[in-house]
Chains A and B, each alone.
Chain A
Amino acid sequence: MRPGARRYRRVLLVLSVALVGSALLAVSVGAVAISPGSVVRLVVWKLGLGPRPNVSRAAEVIVFQLRLPRVALAMVVGLALAVAGTLFQGLFRNPLADPAIIGVSSGAALGAIAVIVLGGGTVLGGLGVSAAAFVGGLLTAFFVYRLARVGPAVNVATLLLAGIAVAAVISAAMSLFMSFAGEEIRSIYFWLLGGLSSRGWTAIEIVAPLALLGVVGTVALVRDLNLMSLGEERAAQLGVDTARFKRRAVALGALLAGAAVSVSGVIGFVGLMTPHVMRLIVGSDHRRLLPAVLLAGPTFLVLADLVSRVVLAPQELPLGAVTALIGGPFFLVLLRRERRRASAVA
């Protein structure tokens, strides 16, 4: 048995329990009181494994049409963002990297805003905006990648800088669009602040397969992620096709982050914190890190969404604000630790 395997299994168990527990809690909490027991019985009934519990029709609608899809969406988005963060932290060999780093979030927001302002908000029943966001995110990532590419080689530092530059330009474009917005301003703020007010299960039906695709692709990259931590040159010396790895990492990361942003707006810090914290708990070996991230990402966002719904009920806090409020201070603490460690070693 590998060293620490027993402890690792325990960690996974705890994370699984946390995930199920937070999901249950989140579905039970809302304007209308529904007990966790009723929720469980309703789910059991829907799966055909038990009788219909004695709850009102309204409660049934609320659980299955309102809360459950929202919690499920939080899980999928949390998963996608956390895995994207893991990919980018491995690609940039920096535990402080975030999915926003190559401009996916900005590009998606711009796509959404452009469509909203140009009046396409109701195209495809509202899905037009999500589609535009997804396309915008991918195009931006592709553009940034091309900027950083010289021949077959992609300089990771240039990728980072290109991402920052492009994000700045996009930010200007967004401001321009927003100045033309009338009452669409509210929809635009949704994209910039992030939120999960979903419309039933449609959003999930679209995002979940994309997220699954992204996760499967990432699983295949696990070994290369480990090796890339030694540095590109060393990884290449050990036989890794670094150019192919970078292509795939950028593509998968953009896919995951783009899918998430297209349905939830810009939600930050999930992609940064989840892999970082999990790394502190289970270590850097991506074969252990990835499963932990797959459990922790959804849990974190479900709980953050719960907070956003509860703190100022019935008004909702924007989800992006909640994750930033938790993530911002956390990020600062991390920075201080890194700085102290770096100066101690130097």
Chain B
Amino acid sequence: MPSPEPLLELEHVSAGYGGAPVVRDVTLAVSGGEVVGLVGPNGSGKTTLVRVASRALRPEGGSVRVAGRDPYAASGREAARLLAVVPQDIAPAFSFSVLETVLMGRTPYLPAWGGGEPDDWAKARAAMLAASVQHLADRPVEELSGGERQRVVLAQALAQDAPVLVLDEPTTHLDIRHVLDVLSIVRRLAERDGSAVLAVLHDLNLAGAVCDRIVALHRGEVVTDGRPEEVITSGLLRSVYGVEAEVVPDEATGHPTVRLGAIRTTTSVSGRRAHVVGGAGRAAPLIRRLSEAGYDVSVGVLHESDTDATVAERLNLARVSVPAFSAIDPESAAGCARLMRSADVVIVCDVPFGPGNLENLRLALGAAEAGIRTLLLDQVPIAERDFSGGEATALWGQLREIAGVASSYDGLISGLG
């Protein structure tokens, strides 16, 4: 249960390295018991923000408060007791054992020469246990694998016993099991111990799974700040990452999940446009294959709630649609005609035609007669698909004289050339 008092606050923070500021006017807050994810593409300023928060980079504007105090006004020791950073990795120059390394995390509490109280040793061991490295206590750190070393780093930060924890891409070298281990440790810290956790994560699915809130950075500014399902959307992927992808809620957990299969970049590879006349699910396989072939696909005119319409929505294709069970109005028809005219090829699928979508055939015929390359999919004979009292058959027959015909999806695709 997040406490109302934020333990880490950045307000209107601007910071940079001497030139133009890398982050501008960033405001974010993390309360105790919360895990907040910081996401954004490379170069968006995530690491800079981590530095500002951890007293490593003084902000040029705005303020930072950790547990109510300004870390830059406090001594290094005091600040280290309030905020612990888990860096991506440590590359120690000299050989220390895991236990010695974790004990270094107790530095903010130790006197200059002293070895440490029993309490410090206990906290160090507890930290190692939490990070699952207690069995490596006497091993030299440089002999560990990347994943083991990262957990030692985590243990060192845990030993600091600070109410605020900032993790800078802590899962970089970890295999899937250890990724889940680390994240579950982080969640437990928040839920059980009330720590405020800010985690810079590059994997959006992980962020969606583990964070209570997500802050997205783009070019040094906060573009959105909210619950994972609000933030991780295809819109975010497109505007911030420049990626076209589906985001669906996971059936079991409800976490927003980016579907890898549908990812392609916004600009089409081949630069060719195809317009598909579909309906009743006949166009769906074709649409997918055309997209994969690099075509920029448009569809129309479709009726909403039609399967093909759903696919088109998901893929965010340019489309013309009309409400279910209604006729195609002149405006929609004109829009569709425009789409057809700007395409390199118009493909008419073997859709059942009735009064509601007969206009599509007329539009296709119009496009074909205007010189647009047209292809017909004729796997299911028109006779079985005519619900318009013969008019569809007549129009289909006229189209057949002008357009190319294929009797299968494969044949159609290969006919595109």
Question: Do A and B come into direct contact in the complex, CB within 8 Å?
Answer: yes
A231 at the interface (CB under 8 A from B): yes
Q: Which of B55, B115, B138 contacts A236 (CB 8 A)?
A: B55
Closest-by-CB residue of A relative to B114 is A223
Q: Which residues of B contact A284 (CB under 8 A)?
A: 94-96
Interface string of A211-237 (1 = CB under 8 A from B): 000000001101100110111011011
Q: Which of B94, B99, B107, B113 contacts A238 (CB 8 A)?
A: B107
A152–B142 CA distance with the chains assembled, in angstroms: 32
Q: Which residues of B contact A3 (CB under 8 A)?
A: 97, 99, 138
Q: Which residues of A contact B85 (CB under 8 A)?
A: 234, 237
B92 at the interface (CB under 8 A from A): yes
A151 CB to nearest chain B CB (Å): 11
B166 CB to nearest chain A CB (Å): 9
A146 at the interface (CB under 8 A from B): no
A286 CB to nearest chain B CB (Å): 9
Closest-by-CB residue of A relative to B79 is A239
B52 CB to nearest chain A CB (Å): 13
A291 CB to nearest chain B CB (Å): 13
Supposing A234-B87, A238-B160 touch, asked if A223 and B107 sit within 8 A by C-beta, the answer is yes
A94 at the interface (CB under 8 A from B): yes
B108 at the interface (CB under 8 A from A): yes
Within 8 A of B (CB), among A87-106: 93-95
B90 at the interface (CB under 8 A from A): yes
Within 8 A of A (CB), among B67-93: 75-81, 84-85, 87, 90-93
B100 at the interface (CB under 8 A from A): yes
B190 CB to nearest chain A CB (Å): 20
Q: Does A239 lie within 8 Å of B104, measured CB to CB? A: no
B20 CB to nearest chain A CB (Å): 19
B54 at the interface (CB under 8 A from A): yes
Q: Which of A94, A234, A283 contacts B90 (CB 8 A)?
A: A234
Q: Which of B94, B113, B138, B142 contacts A287 (CB 8 A)?
A: B113
Closest-by-CB residue of B relative to A93 is B93
Q: Which of B76, B92, B96, B115 contacts A241 (CB 8 A)?
A: B76
Q: Does A95 lie within 8 Å of B93, measured CB to CB? A: yes
Instruction: Report the tally of A-B residue pairs with Cβ distances under 8 A.
Output: 79
Q: Does B94 lie within 8 Å of A95, measured CB to CB? A: yes
Q: Which of A222, A236, A240, A279 contacts B56 (CB 8 A)?
A: A236
B76 CB to nearest chain A CB (Å): 4
Supposing A233-B56, A283-B95 touch, asked if A238 and B108 sit within 8 A by C-beta, the answer is yes
Interface string of A285-300 (1 = CB under 8 A from B): 1010000000000000
B341 CB to nearest chain A CB (Å): 58
Supposing A3-B138, A284-B95, A285-B100 touch, asked if A240 and B107 sit within 8 A by C-beta, the answer is yes
Q: Which residues of B contact A231 (CB under 8 A)?
A: 90-93
Closest-by-CB residue of A relative to B93 is A93
Supposing A230-B90, A230-B104, A231-B90 touch, asked if A236 and B76 sit within 8 A by C-beta, the answer is yes
Within 8 A of A (CB), among B85-143: 85, 87, 90-97, 99-101, 104-105, 107-108, 110, 112-113, 115, 138, 142
Q: Does A222 lie within 8 Å of B80, measured CB to CB? A: no
Q: Does A239 lie within 8 Å of B90, measured CB to CB? A: no
Closest-by-CB residue of A relative to B106 is A238
A2 at the interface (CB under 8 A from B): yes
Q: Which residues of A contact B105 (CB under 8 A)?
A: 238
Supposing A3-B138, A233-B87, A236-B56 touch, asked if A222 and B113 sit within 8 A by C-beta, the answer is yes
Interface band, chain B: 35 or more
Q: Which residues of B contact A95 (CB under 8 A)?
A: 93-94
Q: Which residues of B contact A2 (CB under 8 A)?
A: 115
Q: Which residues of B contact A236 (CB under 8 A)?
A: 55-56, 76
Q: Which residues of A contact B115 (CB under 8 A)?
A: 2, 287
Q: Does B80 lie within 8 Å of A223, measured CB to CB? A: no
Q: Does B93 lie within 8 Å of A94, measured CB to CB? A: yes
Interface string of B35-78 (1 = CB under 8 A from A): 00000000000000000001110000000000000000001111
A240–B90 CA distance with the chains assembled, in angstroms: 16
Q: Does B87 lie within 8 Å of A239, measured CB to CB? A: no
A222–B112 CA distance with the chains assembled, in angstroms: 8
Q: Which residues of A contact B56 (CB under 8 A)?
A: 233, 236-237
Q: Which residues of A contact B112 (CB under 8 A)?
A: 220, 223
Supposing A220-B112, A238-B104, A287-B113 touch, asked if A229 and B138 sit within 8 A by C-beta, the answer is no
Q: Which of B92, B94, B101, B107 contacts A239 (CB 8 A)?
A: B107
A279–B55 CA distance with the chains assembled, in angstroms: 32
B69 CB to nearest chain A CB (Å): 14
Supposing A2-B115, A237-B54, A240-B76 touch, asked if A227 and B104 sit within 8 A by C-beta, the answer is yes
Closest-by-CB residue of B relative to A221 is B112
A89 CB to nearest chain B CB (Å): 8
Within 8 A of A (CB), among B257-299: none
A314 CB to nearest chain B CB (Å): 44
B87 CB to nearest chain A CB (Å): 6
B407 CB to nearest chain A CB (Å): 58
Q: Does A229 lie within 8 Å of B107, measured CB to CB? A: no
Q: Which residues of A contact B101 (CB under 8 A)?
A: 230
A283–B96 CA distance with the chains assembled, in angstroms: 7
A228–B80 CA distance with the chains assembled, in angstroms: 15
Q: Which of B55, B80, B92 contacts A229 (CB 8 A)?
A: B92
Q: Does B96 lie within 8 Å of A285, measured CB to CB? A: yes
Closest-by-CB residue of B relative to A240 is B76
Closest-by-CB residue of A relative to B77 is A239
Q: Which residues of B contact A283 (CB under 8 A)?
A: 95-96
A236–B80 CA distance with the chains assembled, in angstroms: 8
Closest-by-CB residue of A relative to B54 is A237
Q: Which residues of B contact A223 (CB under 8 A)?
A: 107, 110, 112-113
A287–B112 CA distance with the chains assembled, in angstroms: 11
Identify the A interface with B (CB < 8 A): 2-3, 93-95, 219-220, 222-223, 226-227, 229-231, 233-234, 236-241, 279, 283-285, 287, 345
- Give 11 A-B contacts (CB < 8 Å), ordered by A residue: A93-B93, A94-B93, A229-B92, A236-B76, A237-B55, A238-B80, A239-B76, A279-B95, A284-B95, A287-B115, A345-B142
Further pairs besides A95-B93, A285-B100: 4, Cβ < 8 Å: A237-B54, A237-B84, A237-B85, A239-B75
Top 8 closest pairs, chain A to chain B, by CB: A239-B80, A284-B94, A93-B93, A239-B77, A239-B76, A239-B108, A229-B94, A238-B107
